[in-house]
Structure 1
Amino acid sequence: MRVIVEGNMTRSCRSSIFKLGLPCLAIVVIIILYVIISTKQDLLYTSESVGLFDDLNYLRKNGITNNLSAVNLDNMDADQLLLTMHSYLDNTDVICQRKLRMGKVGDGGWEICDDPKVRPQQPCVIYSFGINYDFSFDDDAARLYGCHVYSFDPSMENMKTSDRSDHVHFYKIGLSGATLIAQNGWSLYTFSDLRSLLGHQNVTIDIIKMDIENWEWETIPQMISTEQLVSPRQFLLEYHVSSTEKSYLLPRLKAIQAVEKAGFRKFYVHKNEHCMTLLSHFPIERTECYEVHYLKG
């Protein structure tokens, strides 16, 4: 009888140990799997961090932020041009002690530097290109500084050339590198021909604001070659950058370089959130539309 009892007890103990061992084994397996997964995640995170750090170092080495006038752009490859384009347009050169927002806080508004040497003083003239039915910048600048603001936009179909107020004058014409009638019927003028049309050949233009949806790349070289940027003390414009090819970037970066050579320095830049994009070798999101505010430095 004792043997039978001892045999039953032995089998009972083994059964208990087996029952207890299964949960323990499951726990051990779970721990091992957790360690394996955590290790893989750490390795992935480390690999991603190293990649971003490499991009950041590459950006620092190849993306120029200022003094573009001293750079020989022809010696740059496509990557260097791309990184310089986005680095330069996203960084300022000088400090404006007091910026005043004219127009909407969001899209449509622009900053004017109110520092004594560059602020508009009556009698003053402001040219505003690209309205898109939003006169908030024009109205505020006219009201605050007492300037005559000339507003231009050929795309506003239900608008006619007219005086919006005593100080805001709308013209349904646009800006280009040549004076012509576009295929869509728009009347486009060079900056110098437009001044002649208005009888402003000898009038000082204090501020130029320009948002003309890629037409700036034709317009700026013509303005530079005819010395139209000599008198303005502030130049506010949106640059549109939509390609990564060297043949696209080089002439556009040369146009930006020419603006700097004309004496303009960036006092404020804003990335338009409606044009965000990702670029190779750039560790953070970029925009294809930079609102750049210059003053004559």
Structure 2
Amino acid sequence: MAVVWQRHPRYSLFIFVVLASTFYLLGPYHAATPFLTSTMRGLPRGNDLPSRLARSDRIYNKLLLDRKGLIKKFGPAPKDIALFPPNVSPWPAYTVWDFFPAAYNCPHEIQRLGALGDGGKWVCGISRVEHKPDCVVYSVGINYESSFEAEILSNTQHCQIWGYDFTVNAFGPQITGAQKGRTHFQAYGLAGADHHGPDDKPKMYTLESLMKMNGHTHIDILKIDIERWEFETLTALIKPYLTSGRPLPFGQLQLEIHIWDMTFEQYLTWWEMLEAAGLRPFWTEPNLVYQNYNRHGSTDLAEYSFLNTKGSNIFIKDAPGADHAGHNHA
């Protein structure tokens, strides 16, 4: 090899120029990609929980600007949004989800708990409540399918689950043996107002009433699947907290959304109320069971998981005595 370099100095010079040019052109990409310089500049670089949350907030705030731009493009006002295909009343859901992506980065591990299909839910940081002695979970809408609740019980030591559904009389068969000792079931419904008089069948309670009945001031994980009543129920729940400035009484929310008979403007107003209360979506998936079963192939049901970014819940604040992995010591 040395002989080649000695006998052909022009060849050596050519190789040198090529290598130098290559390193020069690659230099900017090695130093910083365009994505990092335009999107990530100024983000906290630490790996502690406050830094991770700050990065997630910054990224989600950009999404809010992008949504405004998308509405202006297709509107220009929310009342003008006509989704594909046009001229379908009230409006189809084929593209609505494009306006509301789950763009918030969960600052912990994300894990699907429950069935790989209808019934399973995505949870942010189940490890945060693995050893939490006062872990409280509410599950509203059982439909005799409790794989989600069973996996929460399997992944935690102390979590107690309160379940509500007036269409069944117990949790599903997935909860067995000793797990049943950490569950509590009532055939009640969740609503925006109380209706539980002697003649009310089924009996309906607000979330605040159920919590008061159980002696709870906070819920770690709240799952709701109540066939479109989520709009009335969450509106009634959230508005008093927005008015008073108090944080919502739960750490995260797993919610199936049913956008039947709504306009885009109505849905946007409701969604922005969730955001104003501190709820940030970190995962979503369409309900493919419903989509394939429905003869029109409708996509107006979707599962969303939200993190509550306000207050001091266990998913956004380190508890005293927590180790670096975020586990609480009982």
Q: TM-score, normalised by structure 2?
A: 0.57
CA gap 1:105/1:274 in 2 versus in 1, 3 angstroms: closer
Looking at structure 1, the residues matched to 207 and 220 of structure 2 have their Cα atoms a distance apart, in angstroms, of 14
Looking at structure 1, the residues matched to 121 and 275 of structure 2 have their Cα atoms a distance apart, in angstroms, of 20
Looking at structure 2, the residues matched to 255 and 199 of structure 1 have their Cα atoms a distance apart, in angstroms, of 29
What secondary structure does 1:165 align onto?
Answer: helix
CA gap 1:159/1:150 in 2 versus in 1, 3 angstroms: closer
Code of the residue aligned with 2:64 in structure 1: it is: N
Looking at structure 2, the residues matched to 264 and 118 of structure 1 have their Cα atoms a distance apart, in angstroms, of 19
Structure 2 residue aligned with 1:169: 184
Looking at structure 2, the residues matched to 275 and 101 of structure 1 have their Cα atoms a distance apart, in angstroms, of 19
Q: 1:240 aligns with which of 236, 258, 274?
A: 258
Q: 1:113 aligns with which of 112, 121, 124?
A: 124
Residues matched between the structures, number: 219
Confirm or deny: 8 A CA contact 1:153 1:174 kept in the other structure.
yes
Deviation at 1:272, TM superposition (A): 0.3
Supply the RMSD in Å over aligned alpha carbons. 3.6
Structure 1 residue aligned with 2:283: 268
What secondary structure does 1:238 align onto?
Answer: strand
Deviation at 1:190, TM superposition (A): 1.1
CA gap 1:97/1:88 in 2 versus in 1, 3 angstroms: farther
Structure 2 residue aligned with 1:67: 64
Structure 1 residue aligned with 2:148: 137
Structure 2 residue aligned with 1:77: 79
Looking at structure 1, the residues matched to 96 and 131 of structure 2 have their Cα atoms a distance apart, in angstroms, of 30
CA gap 1:197/1:287 in 2 versus in 1, 3 angstroms: same
CA gap 1:190/1:286 in 2 versus in 1, 3 angstroms: same
Looking at structure 1, the residues matched to 130 and 103 of structure 2 have their Cα atoms a distance apart, in angstroms, of 19
Looking at structure 1, the residues matched to 130 and 303 of structure 2 have their Cα atoms a distance apart, in angstroms, of 19
Confirm or deny: 8 A CA contact 1:118 1:233 kept in the other structure.
no
Q: 2:266 aligns with which of 251, 271, 277?
A: 251
Looking at structure 2, the residues matched to 137 and 115 of structure 1 have their Cα atoms a distance apart, in angstroms, of 12
Structure 2 residue aligned with 1:223: 237
The percent of aligned pairs where both chains have the same amino acid is 28
Code of the residue aligned with 2:195 in structure 1: it is: L
Q: 2:166 aligns with which of 145, 154, 176?
A: 154
Deviation at 1:134, TM superposition (A): 1.1
Question: Is 1:125 the counterpart of 2:125 in the alignment?
Answer: no
Question: Is 1:214 the counterpart of 2:228 in the alignment?
Answer: yes
Structure 2 residue aligned with 1:195: 211
Looking at structure 2, the residues matched to 104 and 115 of structure 1 have their Cα atoms a distance apart, in angstroms, of 16
CA gap 1:235/1:268 in 2 versus in 1, 3 angstroms: same
Structure 2 residue aligned with 1:92: 103
Structure 2 runs not aligned, ≥5 long: 1-61, 84-90, 172-177, 310-330
Looking at structure 2, the residues matched to 69 and 170 of structure 1 have their Cα atoms a distance apart, in angstroms, of 43
From the CA coordinates, give the structure whose radius of gyration is larger.
Answer: 1
Deviation at 1:206, TM superposition (A): 0.7
